[in-house]
Structure formats: structure tokens, C-alpha cells
Amino acid sequence: MNTFTRSENTSPAERTSAQTIDLGHHASIEQQVHRWQTSEGARVRLVTDHKRPVFDLVLRFRAGSAQDSELPGIAALALYCLDQGTESFDAAQFVDQLEGLGAIMNREIHQDHALVSLRGLSVPGLRDRAVGLLADMVARPAFREPDLEKIRSRIGGHLLSRGRSSQYVLADATMSQLFANHPYATPSAGTLESLANLTVDQLRAFHRRAYSASNLDIGIVGDLSLEQAEALVNTITQALPQGWAAAPPPPPALGKPSTRSLERAGNTTVAMLTMACQVPPTSPHYPALVMLDQILGASFESRLTQELRGRLALTYDIHSNLLPLDAASLLQISWDIAPEHLDASRSRIEQILQSLSEEGPSQVELDLALSQLTGSTLRSMAANAQLAKALAKFSHQGQPADYLPRLLAALANLTPEDIRQTARSLLATQQQVFVTRGPIVEQLPLPSPDQ
């Protein structure tokens, strides 16, 4: 077992403004992390919290869309069919049973994992019954034909709605471009065409393989003892299929930088610049990548926001986001812009990146970014549901049990030169994709700030 620090009383206002941040103070408490692996191969992390009679349980199966293989959409369809009935209950009975116990369940599908979360009262009788229902759902789903058709229709509606969102369209286009002929190339929910051809037998075969206990990482936070948590976990892992574990997806193939324009009428263009690198969260260089993202575009004080929104008033929304996938880490910059300033805005962003790669950030920028990162990290871990998700994620990534204090210490030890080297390495990669959606118009130079 190990300990990590967690904030309980951090005000967002103290962490998001350069005027109010205390650069030298980060409130924290210590929590004990219990870690073990079951005889079935599931990896578990637990933090006990007895302040409220509630528990949060997260099951993170390596059963995301990267495991779809020749059946795009099978992972999403399997996940969202789970609660449509088991061998013991139909869908309505299952929902009634869960609601009667005061429990709440959610599911998420991603490229690398399928996630099932449960929050419930930690009164032993209620907790045991809720976990028993969850175990029945993930281990023995009925996968009846009418239920498959219902969920197929729902996912199809989601895909149609997703096609109306520029951000989703750009994200899907980016992944298909950057990860051509790769498991990530297809949207996590598949396509309308692929969903139409999936069968109950294919669902059952996928479930028997991907929902194996040895393919599972578990995070638990709440009002229960280590012994109670072990019993809870055994209820689930002993019911699941056994013996299969997913292999990590391959890295993207090396290629030249590419650009794709999706023409659409309107008075705004939405753009996304993505850079891929082989710096996983377990790499000693990953904290510098996290810091680069923060300095570049993760806050109101970041360089991109200050320049394109603040000084030039070209956009309302510009931000960067670091996305650590199993196959690669992606740094994405997204913004909206007047169509005639698309090329010039991209050039300005590239100049900002180039400046960071040549000169690095100032010490003031680094100190501010450290304070913001520390505050946001500790603040997010103060919510038990988010902490349980984080524990399962850290287990999936192969992080040590004391990963959070290690990460915060590594961030605190970074220098401007570390960030400069990271920016330089990122710009040196040829794995860049630039995707836009908007009207095709004649390009103009950027206006001066006083215009």
C-alpha cells in the first residue's frame, strides 16, 4: 500500500487567475492506496473514505473500440447492451432493482477501454446486492435480439448527432488521417454501415473475450474496509469470463504532415492541429509534456489564449489538450476563427510553438502553470467518483500506486529548459495532422491589435 496527497478544500477561484493564485501553497491530505491483483488476473486499487456511507466502483475493461478488429462498433454495442437484461432479469427489472437500491450506474466507450461505474450506499446489505447486480450484468448479459436492435438504433442516432458537431467531425477526421489502417481509425461507436451488420452471436463472442477478468482494472473509493473491498471484487471477477487479455495497439505509422479541409458554408471555420509523439504516461518525459500543454493552451493565462483571444481578439475559444492513448500521446490545439484568417492564425500558432522550442517559457510562466496544474489535479481527486476513475486509469497505464505524488514532484522539478526540449522534440515529429471545417475563402493577413 502507498500514500498520495489529495486536496479537500481548494477553491477554483484560487487556481484559475494569475491575480489570485498563491504560487507557493498547495493544500493536501494523505490517503492510503491499497493495490492487489486477484487470482483471476484483475488489477485493483482501493482508497477507503469513511466520511460518507457511499462507495464508488469503476470497472475499466480493455474492451474499447481498438478491439473492434473487422467489426467496427462491436465494442460500443456490447457495452451499451449490457444493461438490457441478464439471464435473471429483463431490462426493466434490472433498472427497477438497481434504482430500488439507490445505486447509479454509468458507462463510457473509448478507443482503449470500456468503462462501467457504480455509485451506491455502502450499507452492507444494499452494497452487496448492488454489486451482485453489476456482476450479473457484466458477466451474464442476455444479448437478446430485440435489445440489440434498440441499442443499435440509439447508437445510430448518436452517430447522426455527432455528424452535426464540428468538434466531433474534426476529431474523427483527425483520427482517420493520423491512424490510417489502425484500430483507432474508425470512430469509437463504429459507423452506420458497420453497426447494421453486427449480430447477437458476434456480440456474445466479443463479450466472452473482452470482458475477461484478466482484461480488467478496478478502482474503488468509499466507506468500506480492505476485506469488504476484496469480497466485493471477488464477486465480480469470479463471475467474469477468464483467461484473455488485450495486447496494446501498435503506434501510428510514420508519415508526412498532412492537411485536410472539410468545406462547409458559414461564417466561422473550426480548426484542429494534432501532433503525435511516443511519450507514454510512464515515460520520465511525460510530466514535461503535461507542463507544455498547460503553458501552451490549457488556461486563460496560456500563450495561445493570451495571444489569439486576448491581444489579437481573433477567437473566443482556443485551447490545447493532451490526450494519452495506449498507442501514442496526442497534443491537440483547437480553435475557431474567421475563415479569411485561417492560414494566418495557424502560422501564428506555429510561431508560438517555435518560440517555446527555441527559448522555452519564462520562470514566471512555469511557476504559474505548476500552481494551476497542482491545484486542478488535487481538486479533481477530491471527488470520490473521479478518484475511482483515476485509480482504474493509473492501473491501466501501469503506474505505481504512488503515481500522483510522483507526478506532482516531477512537475515541481521541471525547468524552462526541460519544456524547451519537449517543445523541440514535439515539433520535430512528422506525425502532424491539420483538419479544418468551414467555407473556403481568400486568405488575409492578421489584423493589427489596434484595428
Dump pLDDT digits (tens) for 402-423.
999 999 999 999 999 999 999 9
Q: What is the pTM (predicted TM-score) of this model? A: 0.92
Residues 312-315: contacts with CB under 8 Å, at least 24 apart: 312/348, 312/446, 312/447, 312/449, 313/449, 314/338, 314/341, 314/345, 314/446, 314/447, 315/345
For the cut 60, the answer to whether the pLDDT of residue 5 exceeds it is no
If asked whether residues 204 and 342 sit together in one domain, one would say no
Domain end (from 208, 237, 266): 237
- pLDDT per residue as tens digits for the range 341-352: 999 999 999 999
Cα→Cα distances 44→60, 103, 122, 399, Å: 10, 21, 18, 12
If asked whether residues 341 and 404 sit together in one domain, one would say yes
For the cut 90, the answer to whether the pLDDT of residue 290 exceeds it is yes
For the cut 60, the answer to whether the pLDDT of residue 24 exceeds it is no
The pLDDT of residue 136 is 96
Residue 248 lies in a domain: no
Residue 329 lies in a domain: yes
Are 349 and 333 in contact by the 8 Å Cβ rule? The answer is: yes
Contacts of 51 (CB under 8 A, 6+ apart): 223
C-alpha to C-alpha distance for 249 and 173, rounded to whole angstroms: 19
Helix axes 416-428, 286-297, angle to 10 degrees: 90
pLDDT band at 279 (very low <50, low <70, confident <90, very high): very high
The pLDDT of residue 31 is 77
Residue 100 lies in a domain: yes
The pLDDT of residue 200 is 97
If asked whether residues 137 and 75 sit together in one domain, one would say yes
Residue 171 lies in a domain: yes
Q: How many residues does the chain have?
A: 451
If asked whether residues 317 and 351 sit together in one domain, one would say yes
The pLDDT of residue 19 is 41
If asked whether residues 182 and 283 sit together in one domain, one would say no
pLDDT band at 18 (very low <50, low <70, confident <90, very high): very low
Q: Could you identify the residue written with the cell 512528422?
A: 430
- pLDDT per residue as tens digits for the range 218-244: 999 999 999 999 999 999 999 999 999
Question: For the residues 260-268, what does the mean pLDDT come to?
Answer: 96
If asked whether residues 226 and 283 sit together in one domain, one would say no
Three-state DSSP class for 235?
helix
C-alpha to C-alpha distance for 379 and 13, rounded to whole angstroms: 12
Question: For the residues 76-97, what does the mean pLDDT come to?
Answer: 93
Question: For the residues 53-64, what does the mean pLDDT come to?
Answer: 98
Domain count, the chain: 2
If asked whether residues 60 and 181 sit together in one domain, one would say yes
C-alpha to C-alpha distance for 390 and 219, rounded to whole angstroms: 7
If asked whether residues 413 and 349 sit together in one domain, one would say yes
- Indicate which CATH number applies to the domain containing 34: 3.30.830.10
152 φ, ψ (degrees, to nearest 5): -60, -40
Q: What does pLDDT average to over the chain?
A: 92
If asked whether residues 39 and 173 sit together in one domain, one would say yes
The pLDDT of residue 60 is 99
If asked whether residues 222 and 274 sit together in one domain, one would say no
The pLDDT of residue 438 is 97
Residue 74 lies in a domain: yes
If asked whether residues 303 and 211 sit together in one domain, one would say no
Nearest to 426 by CA among 298, 290, 259: 290
If asked whether residues 230 and 356 sit together in one domain, one would say no
Residue 206 lies in a domain: yes
For the cut 50, the answer to whether the pLDDT of residue 10 exceeds it is no
Residue 285 lies in a domain: yes
Give residue 326's domain range.
258-438
Question: For the residues 377-402, what does the mean pLDDT come to?
Answer: 95
C-alpha to C-alpha distance for 208 and 189, rounded to whole angstroms: 20
Residue 5 lies in a domain: no
The percentage of the chain sitting over the pLDDT mark of 70, rounded to a whole number, equals: 93
